[in-house]
Chains A and B, each alone.
Chain A
Amino acid sequence: DAGVIQSPRHEVTEMGQEVTLRCKPISGHNSLFWYRQTMMRGLELLIYFNNNVPIDDSGMPEDRFSAKMPNASFSTLKIQPSEPRDSAVYFCASSPGRGTRWVNSPLHFGNGTRLTVT
C-alpha cells in the first residue's frame, strides 16, 4: 500500500501565480479530504468528497480556491491567484468511507505540500 501520495512536496511561487496541488488517495478509499495547516489556525478542513462528489466546501476560504475530483484516484486543489497568506502546509487525506454509521474510518494523511507564496 503506497499510502496517500501528494505532489509536489514543496512549492514556491510568486504572488498572483496559479498553484495546483495534487493528490492520489489510497485505492479503494471513498472519502477524500483537503486540510490546510498553519501555526495560527492549526488544521483547517477546506473541502471533502465522498465518492468523488464534493460534500462540504464551507472551509474553502475564498473563490480563489477550487478543488476537483474527476475520478476515484485523483484530486486537485487549485489556488488562482495565489497570495502570501496562502502560505501553509496543505494535506490531503483519504478514508475507507462510511458504509454504515458504525464503521470506523480513520483518516490516512499524505506527506503534505509546503506552499510558500512570496
Chain B
Amino acid sequence: QQPVQSPQAVILREGEDAVINCSSSKALYSVHWYRQKHGEAPVFLMILLKGGEQKGHDKISASFNEKKQQSSLYLTASQLSYSGTYFCGTERGGTSYGKLTFGQGTILTVHP
C-alpha cells in the first residue's frame, strides 16, 4: 500500500526551511528518503529503521515515529541544489521484507 506524502509541492526562497511528511496506514519496518532531479534517477538520502531514530545528512534530517507510522524530512537553510522531487519509500517487513513502496512525491522548488 502506497504511503501518503504531504504537502504535494513546496516553494521556498533560499535559506528557508521545509518539512515533508510521509505516513502509512500499516506498521513499518523502515523508511527511505530519496531525491530526484528532473530527468534523472532518484538518489538515496537516508534510511530510518524503527526505533524512533533521527538521522542527518548535511542540513537535511529525518525522523521516524513507528507508533504513528510516520516519518518527516526536515530541510533547513535550503539551497538551490535542494530543488527536486522528494520520495519516501516504506518497507513493511515480514513477508514484505525488502519490498520498498514509494509515495507520490513532494515537489520542492527553491528560488534565489
Contact = CB atoms under 8 A, between A and B. Distances in A.
Interface of A: 31, 33, 35, 42-43, 45, 48, 50, 55-56, 91, 98, 101-102, 104-112
Contacts of A43: 42, 87, 102, 105
A-side binding surface: helix, strand, loop or mixed? strand
Contacts of B49: 102, 104
Contacts of B9: none
Contacts of B2: 42
Interface residues of B, number: 24
Contacts, number: 53
19 contacts: A35-B102, A43-B105, A45-B99, A48-B98, A48-B99, A50-B98, A55-B99, A98-B97, A101-B29, A101-B93, A104-B47, A104-B49, A105-B98, A106-B32, A107-B44, A107-B100, A109-B41, A111-B40, A112-B41
Contacts of A45: 99-102
A86 B22 CA distance: 28
A98 B32 contact: no
Interface of B: 2, 29, 32, 34, 40-44, 47, 49, 87, 89, 93, 96-105
B13 to A, nearest CB: 27
